[in-house]
Amino acid sequence: MENPSAPPCLDLSGISKRYPGVLANDNVGFTVRPGEVHALLGENGAGKSTLVKIIYGLVKPDTGQMRFNGRDFAPGRPSDARAAGVAMVFQHFSLFEALNVAENVALGMENPPPMRELAARIRAVSEEYGLPLDPSRMVGDLSAGERQRVEIIRCLLQDPKLLIMDEPTSVLTPQEVEILFRTLRQLSAEGTAILYISHKLEEIRSLCDGATILRRGKVVATCTPKEKTARELAEMMVGATLNPPERRPGEKGEVVLGVTDLSVESPIPFGTSLKSVGFTVARGEVLGIAGVAGNGQDELLLALSGEVRTEADKVRINGHAAGDLGPADRRRAGLVAAPEDRYGHAAAPDMTLVENAFLTGAIRMHLTRHGFIDWAGARAFAEQVIKDYDVRTPGPLVAARALSGGNLQKFLIGRELDQSPEVIVINQPTWGVDAAAAAAIRQAILNRAAEGAGVVVISQDLDELLEIADSFAVLNAGRLTKPRPVEGLTIDQIGLMMGGAHGMEVAHHGH
Ligand SMILES: Nc1ncnc2c1ncn2[C@@H]1O[C@H](COP(=O)(O)OP(=O)(O)OP(=O)(O)O)[C@@H](O)[C@H]1O
């Protein structure tokens, strides 16, 4: 619980950090009191991650002061921050799949105790904070939510005074979100301050005591989120008003993607094999595939993109058997694909945006001439995507890794949608993007469908799917339910389809 008279746990003033071509943090100051759950809000690229990396000792500010628990604070590296009582749970987990929970926790500790003692301590913390986790389980077998618990428990074992969480709920099911929030409220009641980054405004309204809003690196407002509507919060972030996506009722055309009895052995360690998956998508149709991540979503994307090949007639693009074609030939046939993992798989982080645009755009955008790369064409294509999707970047020649997470996502999705595709397959299209950008991406998907593309959107976000999909199916343990039209679909029917989908709750929360 926040104590207004207590001295601040964290006090920042005049923090600035410049990167080539962008002032990521511009004279930022705010305070967080002990026990306060404080949200850091802002659109993609506003400077939130940069700021928390400064607090955690990963990035050095150019100017500014920090005080932590009444003392000057200038961590040179994360271990300094941890020693002072700052813990951080990242968006991307750094766990070893082939090791068990306790072994993973031990790897992150400076002086790990003997394994039995550590396992007992993990059990104790897990019980005390209502975070179910068995220390002897292999991390590879855990859901995203359980993996996050490993990271949180690792933090709690250090008894932090400030816990930083960067978009913690994007990988969680609604039930897992409830469990997490209970834990965070308990920590807050015990006096732990929490700095919380998220684009999910309803969650922020229910959880956070205070908020600092950043726009283009500057603090533009502070507020009490409960006293604002989600819309007001979003509008404070972007400084403009927002519109829900518009659906143009399009005619459905002939089937453009057909999948029949597709069974695929997972090429991913600890992955889920696909079991006799079948569906069709017509021109103008958006098929939404729901389900908890790890139930075959990545495998389905690989089998559709051509990175995993099957018998020819299992996948048909535009009526032609394509199951035995690789990614380049499938692109030639009209299919574009955007996988979820934007760093390892979708983008080459050290390459420029122009090079990344070339990587998947070469074929459909005709970016080679007589065997040579048409760099001017690739650059023009990258610039088009940057413009169409409002990607905030100093220019097309920066490395992909220099973009904020949400801006890279906008670029990668835009790069696919801008190739006049006939079939689009996207996993988690709005992962990590702000409300305005999410609306723009959904609108772009609907526009491509209205122009005649057939679209498969895989997402964990039910609301997103119900907003843009014409038909709806659930992927669970590698099996796909029969797609049904979204129109007229009741929450009860969705519940039945979800039936086997462990841990995925049907409730619409927060709206
Ligand atoms: N290592 C880096 N090199 C160059 N520029 C960077 C680097 N890290 C961040 N930036 C730039 O700093 C700005 C702020 O980025 P930051 O990641 O802090 O934003 P964010 O608010 O966390 O965004 P998101 O919601 O998309 O995660 C962006 O313009 C980004 O391109």
**Chain-wide mean pLDDT for the chain?**
89
pLDDT value at residue 145: 83
Digit-coded pLDDT (tens) for 270-329: 889 999 999 999 999 999 999 877 889 999 999 999 999 999 999 999 999 999 999 999
Digit-coded pLDDT (tens) for 44-54: 889 999 999 99
pLDDT value at residue 5: 67
pTM of the model: 0.72
Digit-coded pLDDT (tens) for 191-213: 999 999 988 888 899 999 999 99
The three-class DSSP label of residue 341 is: coil
Q: How many residues does the structure list for the chain?
A: 511
pLDDT of 500 strictly over 70: no
How do the domains of the chain map onto residue ranges? 10-238, 255-498
Backbone dihedral angles phi then psi of residue 37, each to the nearest 5 degrees: -100, 110
CATH superfamily label, 10-238: P-loop containing nucleotide triphosphate hydrolases (3.40.50.300)
CATH architecture, domain defined by 255-498: 3-Layer(aba) Sandwich (3.40)
Digit-coded pLDDT (tens) for 399-455: 999 998 889 999 999 999 999 999 999 999 998 888 888 888 999 999 999 999 999
Q: Which residues pair with 22 in a beta bridge?
A: 19
Distance CA(366)–CA(73), nearest Å, equals 53
Structure-token pair, residue 510: 């927060």
Distances (CA, A) of 323 to 40, 121, 339, 422, 454: 46, 50, 18, 17, 17
Rounded average pLDDT over 51-72: 96
pLDDT value at residue 344: 65
- Separation of 131 CA from ligand 1 center, angstroms? 32
Pocket test for ligand 1, best of 19, 198, 213, 392 (most atoms within 8 A of CB): 19
Among 10-24, 243-257, 318-332, 346-360, the minimum mean pLDDT is found in 243-257
Residue nearest to atom 1 of ligand 1 (CA): 402
- Counting from 1 in the atom list of ligand 1, the atom nearest the Cα of 408 is 26
ipTM, two decimals: 0.96
pLDDT value at residue 507: 37
Q: Could you tell me if the CB of 402 is within 6 A of ligand 1?
A: yes
Q: Are 340 and 426 in contact (CB under 8 A)?
A: no
Distance CA(396)–CA(378), nearest Å, equals 10
Q: Could you tell me if the CB of 47 is within 6 A of ligand 1?
A: yes
pLDDT of 173 strictly over 80: no
| Matching fold, domains 10-238 and 255-498 | yes
- Separation of 45 CA from ligand 1 center, angstroms? 5
Burial string for 202-234 (b: 16+ CB within 10 Å, else e) reads: ebbbebbbbbbbbbbbbbbeebebeebebeebb
Digit-coded pLDDT (tens) for 91-112: 777 888 889 999 999 987 878 8
- Separation of 366 CA from ligand 1 center, angstroms? 31
Q: Would you give the DSSP letter of residue 205?
A: H
pLDDT value at residue 243: 64
* Counts of helices then strands in the chain (DSSP H, E): 16, 23
